Copies of this chain bind each other. A is one copy, B any other.
Amino acid sequence: MIILKENLEELPNRKRINFINSLSGFKSANLIGTINSNGESNLAIFSSLVHIGADPALIGMVSRPNSVPRHTLENIKDTGVFSINSVSENIYRQAHLTSARIDVSESEFSFTGLTESYSSHSLAPSVKESPMSIYCSLKEVINISSNNTILIIGEVIAVELPEEAVFDDGAVNHNMLETVCVSGLDRYHRVTEIEQLPYAKQG
């Protein structure tokens, strides 16, 4: 069937949001750990991470300025740092709970039961139960004028993960980490490797 722009606009709000959110396919699920200058920590699930570049090592994520994850953006602007924590099969239910609207004075760490952890490499809290934590410093904040969302660009400062979860070619073995992925707003999935394909060349 074909769904046109006009049909989308006629859909009930919740259905339209679910449909559009699921269009791009499976998305990574990551917990973003931040802290403000009062020492109040925050944890929020994001499914909008995107690889920006390898040299320098840059990761982007999209934030809405006035919605659930807004403390994340404020905290990152405040301290200049954040952590990205992979969501694995053992913590996806707790990770999903971070999308609830709770007061700034309460931390999602205590709300969800995930453990706040600190390393010598960043002010930002990380998630102890997460199999991989990436510590970033804020590099750039870009306004997307089409709908006033924000693209946050972070530079990778340090990565903590099990040594055996790195393939010989340098890639992270997310299957070993049991990293999940998400589709739409709320469907969580298990991932199984089919195969690694060779570098594509002509003729």
Contacts and interface: CB of A to CB of B under 8 A. Distances in A.
Instruction: Give the number of copies in the complex.
Output: 2
A86 interface: yes
B134 A145 contact: no
A23 B51 contact: yes
A52 to B, nearest CB: 6
Contacts of A49: 24-25, 50
A105 to B, nearest CB: 13
Interface string A8-27: 10011011111111111111
A102 B100 CA distance: 48
The residue in A16, A25, A86, A188 that gathers the most chain B C-beta atoms within 10 A of its C-beta is A25
A194 B188 CA distance: 6
Contact of A193 (B14, B134, B160, B188): B188
A30 interface: yes
A21 B157 contact: no
A183 B194 contact: no
A54 B17 contact: yes
A104 interface: no
Interface string A61-95: 01010000000000000000000101101001100
Contact of A15 (B29, B119, B156, B169): B169
A25 B127 CA distance: 16
A51 B55 contact: no
